[in-house]
Structure 1
Amino acid sequence: MADLGAFPEEMTAVAIPEPGGPEALVPQQRKVPVPGPGEVLIKVAAAGVNRPDVLQRLGKYPPPPGASDIPGLEVAGTIVAAGSGADKLIGQKVCALLAGGGYAQYAVAPAGQCLPVPDGYDLAEAAALPETLFTVWTNLFERAYVVEGDTVLVHGCTSGIGTMAIRLCNLFGVKIIVTCGSEEKCEAAREWGADHAINYRTQDFVEEVKAITGGQGAQAVLDMVGGDYLPRNLNCLAEDGRHVSIAVLGGAKANIFIPAVMTRRLTITGSTLRARSEGFKSLVADELMRNVWSFVADRTLRPAMDQRFALTDAAKAHARMDAGEHFGKIVLVA
């Protein structure tokens, strides 16, 4: 293992000794992890907080085999050590997608899942990029293969995923309709770049989508709700439309009318990211470098930032997410 110099044997990390509420997140002293072949050790400046972290805290989303039990799926910081094959990255500032381990002062990441942080780019903002970028790119632009001129419907628009979807649609000429739970959030979404925002508490989003699209429907729906949203989402789609599920916060089961799927040639698909292979994630990182990273480099693409908390205040960060009042990303600063 090659490294920049001395660093401590132990670090502060946030663990989950027992599942529960935000108070289940407990700072602990842990051994600094050692990077293996093709891996790097990142001195963490900031770590993004994501909904899967909350599910892990509740005991509903265990880390995949071999991953750290420490929560945290994305970080930004400086590479201070590396295993064989990744030595050339030592000293670089990067943001990285992880399978776990981000809520800590040091974290190990596969070198292929690291993306360079441009000079002067806020490391807290950089830490808010990987999970949302990887998720939106693979699901909206690959699985739903949206292109310039398409219209998409995205639920959960004030989340990190939703706000990133808005920005990417803006960059690639895709019209985006979003749903929100209040007029204030609808206004915030429009200010952030949504073409249309629907208050799902006071409006029927199916009828609104049809009205907005002149009865045609949207080419794609990105959904993290599931449950009874699925059949309603299908009613929002145009012929040959694509529906992508990425979470089931509103329920894991749904009833659909199969003949409508057949006659309108609809596609229903979905994915998860955390358990995908290192090879797959590295390929996505390469695609982001080719297609998206120039927008990061010139500051055109920046994440919506909600609040920053100290690493040891992870419980407060999760309480903020649980309250559902955030707009954009919540970040822990190490």
Structure 2
Amino acid sequence: MKTVEFEITGKPAEILRAVERPLPEPGPGEVRVKVLASPINPSDIMFVQNLYGIRPQLPSGAGFEGVGIVDKAGEGVSVQPGTRVGFSGVGAWSEYTIAHHRSLIPVPDTMPDEVAAQLFVNPFTAFAMVQESGVQAGQWLMLTACGSAFGKMVIQLCKQKGIQTIGTVRRDDLNEELKALGLTEIINTETENMAARVREITGGAGVSCVLDAVGGHTASEAVKCLGKGGVMLIYGLLSLQDPTINVGLMIFRELTIRGFWLTDWMRRVDSKTRQEVAQNVISMLASGQIQLPVEATYSLDQIVEAVEHSERHGRWGKILVKP
């Protein structure tokens, strides 16, 4: 079978390659999945660079999620071969991969592969983070780098819940699309003072929560946008720079700043909560209430072009790998 691998960590476009490997065999509690499609997420790029919470065991496969057909089930697995599932695990950029049966989510026939491939990372993270934020209908939630696939998901989800949103961008080419999705206000961080604009938008109250994916200067400025008792959830570090935190603000506004990682959230919450999130995600995606656009599709042999495209500024949709 053909699969994407890397033998050293580094820039994805320089080290990823498609190679031939023997067909893997599922162990107890595992299934072998014939992969139909897999997205390229920021977490995948970070993993290949050894900058993620899970460290690669070299040589390593790549890609954390996808959609496929269960090809073979290991001992103790009740999922029948032939079932189309969303799955998560290391090595999704491949013709076949091994996944644990607990990571499988059967998907309805009406859901296209392009949507089902994105079922786990962004939708689950969006639902979980909006839940963790504690922001209620009518309150303000702010998200940095809001033009990302994750940002668009959060915007649409908040619109469904009646939560007002402020999103930051560095260019204005996606503003109309973001507004159409339901973003309440947009701040261009290259031309506007973030904290001043937030005070203006919120009548001086500040936002209840910030979801930050950037770190660095952007996160430092975003802390200033939090109102009394506000919370910042940091889930990414696109700038690869740590923020500088104003301790005085933390003390006198009683702010909370903490990280968020979906892997730990999935371990922490009970099975009922996980099932509720899964049902909500599937329902909203299958009904079309939330859109997950795809900009381009590449083969395994085109993995270098695919990862280069995924890191291109100004994208409006996800990049998929299709074996």
TM norm structure 1: 0.87
Aligned to 2:278: 289
Superposition deviation, residue 29 in structure 1: 0.9
- 1:91 corresponding residue in structure 2: 82
Q: Shift of residue 127 of structure 1?
A: 0.7
Shift, 1:45, TM fit: 0.3
Q: What letter corresponds to residue 107 of structure 2 in structure 1? A: V
1:164-217 deviation per Cα after TM superposition (whole angstroms, max 9, x unaligned): 111221222222211112111222322333222222111122222222212111
Aligned residue number for residue 144 of structure 2: 155
2:224 to 225, 231, 235: 235
Matched, 1:123 2:113: yes
Report the CA distance shift for 1:289/1:120 in structure 2 as closer, same or farther (over 3 A): same
Structure 1 pair 21/78, CA: closer, same or farther in 2 (3 Å)? closer
Rounded to whole Å, the distance in 2 between the matches of 1:281 and 1:24 is 36
Q: 1:114 to 1:174 in 2, by over 3 A?
A: farther
- Matched residue, 1:224: 213
Q: In the alignment, which of 55, 67, 71 is matched to residue 80 of structure 1?
A: 71
Q: Report deviation, 1:299.
A: 2.5
Q: Which runs of 5+ in 2 are unaligned?
A: none
Corresponding residue for 2:126?
136
Alpha-carbon distance between aligned partners in 1 of 2:270 and 2:75, rounded to the nearest angstrom: 17
Other structure's SS at 1:121 match:
coil
Q: CA deviation at 1:59?
A: 4.3
Say whether 1:298 aligns with 2:273.
no
Q: Which amino acid aligns with 1:26?
A: R
Amino acid corresponding to residue 332 of structure 1 in structure 2: V
Match of 1:311 in 2: 300
Whether contact under 8 Å (1:46, 1:124) holds in the other structure is yes
Q: Is the 8 A contact 1:149 1:175 kept in 2?
A: yes
Contact 1:44 1:75 in 2 (8 A): yes
Paired position in structure 2 for 1:32:
23
Segments of structure 1 that go 5 or more residues without pairing to the other structure are 1-10
CA–CA separation in structure 1 for the residues paired with 2:104 and 2:197 = 40
- Deviation track 1:85-116 (CA, whole Å, cap 9, x = no partner) reads 32334322111222x11110112222222222
Letter in 1 for 2:40: V
* 1:23-73 deviation per Cα after TM superposition (whole angstroms, max 9, x unaligned): 422100122322222222211100010112222333434844779821101
Say whether the 8 Å CA contact 1:41–1:82 is kept in structure 2.
yes
TM-score norm. by structure 2 comes to 0.90
Task: Name the CA shift for 1:94/1:227 in 2 (closer, same or farther; >3 Å).
Answer: same
Percentage of matched positions with identical amino acids? 28
CA distance in 1, matches of 2:171, 2:245: 28
Amino acid in structure 1 at the alignment position of 2:41: N
Decide which moves more: 18-27 or 69-78. Answer: 18-27
Q: 1:200-211, aligned counterparts within 5 Å?
A: 200-211=189-200
Asked whether the 8 Å contact 2:47–2:56 carries over to 1, the reply is no
Q: Which amino acid aligns with 1:87?
A: S
Query: Which of 50, 74, 82 matches 2:41?
Result: 50
Which residue number in structure 2 is paired with residue 109 of structure 1? 99
Q: Alignment partner of 1:140: what SS? A: helix
Q: Alpha carbons of 1:123 and 1:155: their partners in 2 closer, same or farther (altered >3 Å)?
A: same
Please name the residue that 1:250 is paired with: 239
**How far apart in 1 are the matches of 2:233 and 2:100?**
27
Q: CA deviation at 1:285?
A: 4.0
Equivalent position SS for 2:61: coil
Query: How has the CA–CA distance of structure 1 residues 290 and 82 changed in structure 2, closer, same or farther, with 3 Å as cutoff?
Result: same
Contact kept, 8 Å, 1:81 with 1:87, in 2: the verdict is: no
Letter in 2 for 1:288: V
- DSSP-derived class of the 1:112 partner: helix
What count of residue pairs does the alignment treat as equivalent?
Answer: 321
* CA distance in structure 1 between the partners assigned to 2:108 and 2:230 by the alignment: 37
Aligned residue for 1:197?
186
